[in-house]
Amino acid sequence: MNFHTESFGRTPDGQEVFLYTLTSAKGLRARITNFGATLVSLEIPDRHGKLDDITLGFDNLAGYLEQRVYFGATVGRYANRIGNARFVLDGVEYKLAANNGPNHLHGGLKGFDKVVWKTLEATAAEDRAWVRLSYLSQDGEEGYPGNLQCNVTYLLTNDDDLRIGYEAETDRKTVLNLTNHTYWNLAGQGTGDILRHELTVEASRFTIVDRGLIPVGITASVIDTPLDFLAPRPIGGRIRQLQHGYDHNFVLSGPANSLKLAARVHEPAGGRVMEVHTTEPGMQLYTGNYLDGSVIGKGGKAYGRHAGLCLETQHFPDSPNKPAFPSTVLEPGRKFTSLTVHRFSAK
């Protein structure tokens, strides 16, 4: 295993940004930048050993400075949506930025995806390479209470795993929901849509939402709906039954707070397989419904509709306003931890 560090450019206010390359003994290569704690690329082999980058993104920092689609980014303080951009905690109402109609989305106007993270560590050992990034979100940032110290670690192993670990602590009671927003295309970024990818999701229920994609507070069975991926199905098989495509939170099976299989994706042409394991209770499936070819990505590729799929491991949307959902409250003196593992193979 080895790693390499290089400059990725500077932000408009002059902060230098770095690009870290982690390479496994088998040739898997992950590139991470400390701008937005973002996964820039991941190259893995197909069944014939051909390496391709399977993540959507940009060739340079300028693309990430300007992006509005969260390619590869760490999303927080609260990933997904909070209804009416407000929540109440211990009788106090906190008002957040309304950046998705009347709702709050992915941390607001300047979420964790738009800041420069501090690099705590970037190194390699015999069987793994990793980069550990840190960000202090100050009390009142984007409307959230508490100074929140957050760490994200990307770790690549010789077992063909990419592990993303999160840690956070606060000095005031707050709410927190972190995820990674990589758009995956196992055929290779820029090669077309993901509708032929075969997906399995370990979830028999999903959260019902209103027209603004805010949960109404109850769950429903996936059986006899286009959300039934309990057995492998092509993503495009029933997507036209939905107005825009998939943008749904699944209630994952398995014990809470333990690492469990959430999803499995297989791309039939090249044979690449990705398993997603997580300690989180939910996962948002999003199929790039609003990509329209206007975003030009790596290698000059135009990303059209459904050019990638997101599997965002998370707590449920709007949990601060839904007492029946698993709590997203973090209290002083307690440490938040979360782990998501992407495991790759080919067949």
Is the separation of the CB atoms in 306 and 245 below 8 Å?
Answer: yes
| Residue linked to tokens 């032929």 | 196
**Is 312 considered catalytic here?**
yes
**Residue 173 vs residue 257, higher pLDDT:** 173
Nearest CA-CA partner of 207 in 315, 338, 309: 315
How many separate helices (H) and strands (E) can be counted in the chain?
A: 1, 29
Q: Catalytic one among 197, 312, 315, 342?
A: 312
pLDDT (0 to 100) of residue 107: 98
294-313 pLDDT per residue, tens:
999 999 999 999 999 999 99
> Residue 14 in 3-state DSSP?
coil
Q: Catalytic one among 181, 248, 266, 277?
A: 181
pLDDT (0 to 100) of residue 300: 98
81-137 pLDDT per residue, tens:
999 999 999 999 999 999 999 999 999 999 999 999 999 999 999 999 999 999 999
> Residue 137 in 3-state DSSP?
strand
| Residue linked to tokens 């106090």 | 92
4-52 pLDDT per residue, tens:
999 999 999 999 999 999 999 888 999 999 999 999 999 999 999 999 9
Is the separation of the CB atoms in 51 and 38 below 8 Å?
Answer: no
Positive or negative: CA dihedral 20, 29, 192, 233? negative
pLDDT (0 to 100) of residue 43: 98
* Domain locations in the chain as residue ranges: 2-346
pLDDT (0 to 100) of residue 200: 98
Nearest CA-CA partner of 90 in 173, 170, 176: 173
Positive or negative: CA dihedral 52, 53, 59, 63? positive
| pLDDT tier, 256 (very low <50, low <70, confident <90, very high otherwise) | confident
Nearest CA-CA partner of 112 in 166, 52, 53: 166
Nearest CA-CA partner of 307 in 196, 189, 199: 189
**Is 277 considered catalytic here?**
no
Cα separation, 45 vs 324, in Å, equals 43
| Residue linked to tokens 């989180």 | 280
Cα separation, 133 vs 202, in Å, equals 30
What residues are paired with 206 via a beta bridge? 220, 250
pTM of the predicted structure, to 2 decimals: 0.97
Q: What DSSP string describes 31-70?
A: EEETBTTEEEEEEEE-TT--EEE-B---SSHHHHHH-SS-
Mean pLDDT of 170-187: 98
pLDDT (0 to 100) of residue 26: 85
Mean pLDDT of 68-81: 97
- pLDDT of residue 255 exceeding 90, the answer is no
Q: Which CATH number fits domain 2-346: 2.60.200.20, 2.70.98.10, 2.40.10.220, 3.20.20.140?
A: 2.70.98.10
pLDDT (0 to 100) of residue 336: 98
Mean pLDDT of 256-263: 95
127-163 pLDDT per residue, tens:
999 999 999 999 999 999 999 999 999 999 999 999 9
Mean pLDDT of 60-73: 96
Q: Which two tokens stand for residue 173?
A: 């009671």
Cα separation, 18 vs 64, in Å, equals 13
